[in-house]
Amino acid sequence: MKTLARDEAMQMLNKVPEVTLYFWIIKIMATTVGETGADFLNFDLNFGLTGTSLVMASLLAAFLFIQLRARKYVPWLYWVNVVLISIVGTLITDNLVDNFGIALETTTAAFGIALLATFALWYAREKTLSIHSIVTTRRELLYWAAILFTFALGTAAGDLVAESMKLGYANSALMFGALIAAVTVAYYGFKANAVLAFWIAYILTRPLGASCGDWLSQPIANGGLGLGTVTTSLIFLTTILGSVVFLSVTRKDVIPRTA
């Protein structure tokens, strides 16, 4: 029985992709789709915030259930969940700000605290925050909870910088891109802690992707390029699809069982 349990635990490693350049490309694309996709459903299809939230939360619950039941890492399933959780995270922030009138400063602080609390619980129970050690269902649930809060936090922080602080979408994207570059230099140049560098970069890619999405989709009068939510979403969804197909064939992002 112990051998079986150990083998099952090792299989769980394959449910989370290795952190490669492909990982970051798809992740940033997914964050952009989260921003433009939520706007498309809300405004273009007239679902409204409440209707859009109910539909996307239901889809996320269904696909997350399938993800948790899977016995190995499946690229398309994993990234569908990331795209859906990106949209839901965006909608959570939008609901709090638009429907309940909560300030972006408050939502940014609240989601920051929620994320820290998730990390604290995760570390207290598992003694690690490494994505290479997600070998149980409990760790996977904590992993997805952390990802949800990074998306909600990134949405709030991105909107706070771009809109409330009036920095603009393009300047916000450049600022968050520079911060990610600084984390990259700290990791590769100064040997910063790998787990800490990963989660900081993961958080920062959300407002980067959101700012890029807004910059591309928003009207020129609002500081964007005017591509619209449909065109922007299709461009990035096509890129995600192509990347996921490539990874499914090459398996370049599968974590070795010895990791």
Q: Return d(Cα 249, Cα 75) in angstroms, integer.
A: 10
Phi, psi of 11, rounded to the nearest 5 degrees: -65, -30
What whole-number distance in Å separates Cα of residue 240 and Cα of residue 170?
22
* Whole-structure pTM value: 0.85
Task: Write the DSSP string, 127-172.
Answer: S---GGG--SHHHHHHHHHHHHHHHHHHHHHHHIIIIIS---HHHH
Please list, in sequence order, all residues whose beta carbon lies within 8 angstroms of the beta carbon of residue 220, skipping any fewer than 6 positions away. Answer: 226
Q: Which residues contact 116 (CB under 8 A, 6 or more apart)?
A: none
81's CB contacts (< 8 A; 6+ apart) are 60, 63, 64, 67, 144
Contact of 162 with 168, CB cutoff 8 Å: yes
pLDDT tens over the chain, length 259 residues: 444 444 444 445 557 888 888 999 899 888 888 777 777 777 777 888 888 888 889 999 999 999 998 888 889 999 999 989 988 988 888 889 988 999 999 999 999 999 999 999 999 998 888 887 777 888 899 999 999 999 888 888 878 887 767 777 778 888 889 999 999 999 999 999 988 999 999 988 888 887 787 788 778 877 778 888 788 888 888 988 899 999 888 888 877 665 4
Selection from 34, 159, 176 nearest residue 98 by Cα: 159
